[in-house]
Chain A
């Protein structure tokens, strides 16, 4: 079971907006540690989509945005496109007995 909780799947039609939640606790997100989001296309390694809660690396479209509040974070994708179909993972740091760097269980985004 992952330290950070994500919904297993979300879906949306092309052009729509979807959000993916990432719920943590007071030992990770709630403790003020940053959240990063990764996109993993089928058969490839993950790549960063959002770093530091709400920052996009160069080359990432502004359709992707991140936010963080309390013990949770969210990834929003607007104007859904077929190429957005992938797995998405949140990642943070945890100061409890688990491994310091922790991931969410991942969310499969299906573009209908």
Chain B
């Protein structure tokens, strides 16, 4: 079964740091890009960032709202991607999803999705 499982969510104070993990199983993780998407409670989906595979030099790209504060990395030996979040702000409070990329021909979309990790930034 293709699956992504996030962990590491929790409560952190403004200005603090937190690191989320996303463990993959059931597919060739090392060859796939991984994205992070977040969702504020009761709101819509917001793309956060992406890391590509080793073949693509582990290239990363981030949304301007998190660039310079968030860092995505991966350890292919552990089939795991990480989202390091520093200088957290109250507005970063959200459920964070990791997603793989499904490809058929010229089309690519977000699939599969993890179950989400809740991050609460509050004093």
Contacts and interface: CB of A to CB of B under 8 A. Distances in A.
Interface of A: 2, 34, 36, 38, 45-48, 51-52, 55, 57, 89, 91, 97-106
Interface string B86-111: 00000000000100001011110111
Interface size class of B (residues with CB under 8 A): 20 to 34
A99 B110 contact: no
Contacts of B46: 103
Given A103-B46, A103-B47, A106-B45, A45 B115 contact: yes
A98 B107 contact: no
Given A34-B107, A51-B109, A52-B104, A103 B45 contact: yes
A99 B44 contact: no
Interface of B: 35, 37, 43-48, 50, 61-65, 97, 102, 104-107, 109-111, 113-116
Contact of A45 (B50, B105, B106, B114): B114
B111 A101 contact: no
A100 B105 CA distance: 20
A51 B104 contact: yes
Contacts of B64: 97-99
A98 B47 CA distance: 10
Given A45-B97, A101-B50, A102-B47, A52 B107 contact: yes
